[in-house]
Amino acid sequence: MKPLLLIALATASLTLSGCGYVWPFAGNRARASVEALNLSDVHLTRTLFGISCSKSDHIYYKFVARNLSGQRVHGVVCMSYLKGATVRITG
C-alpha cells in the first residue's frame, strides 16, 4: 500500500509541476512575462504556429502592447512545458 501511495504522489507532483503552461493558465503566464518588461495594455492572441520561436517551444502567443512612451509594440511569447517563457519583440 505504501509504495502505491508513493507512486501516486510522485505522479501527481510531476503532472502538476507544468500547470502554469496549460490552458487557461498559460495566458496568465504569458501576460506576466510581457508585463515584466514594463509593457502595458497587453492584448494576447493564442496562435498555433510560433515562427519566431524555438523548436522546443510548444505554446505560442502573439501580443500587442504599449511601452512606457505609449508606442505600440508587437511581439511573441514562446513557452514550453516545464520551461520558462521567452518574450521576443518583433516590431
Contact 63, 86 (CB under 8 A): no
Check pLDDT > 70 for residue 71.
Answer: yes
Domain boundaries, the chain: 20-89
Instruction: Kindly report, residue by residue over 4-45, the tens digit of the pLDDT.
Output: 766 766 665 555 555 555 556 788 899 999 999 999 999 999
How high is the pLDDT of residue 53? 87
Burial class (CB in 10 A: 0-12, 13-18, 19+), 61: buried
pLDDT of residue 9: 67
Using 50, 70 and 90 to split pLDDT, how confident is the model at 47?
A: confident
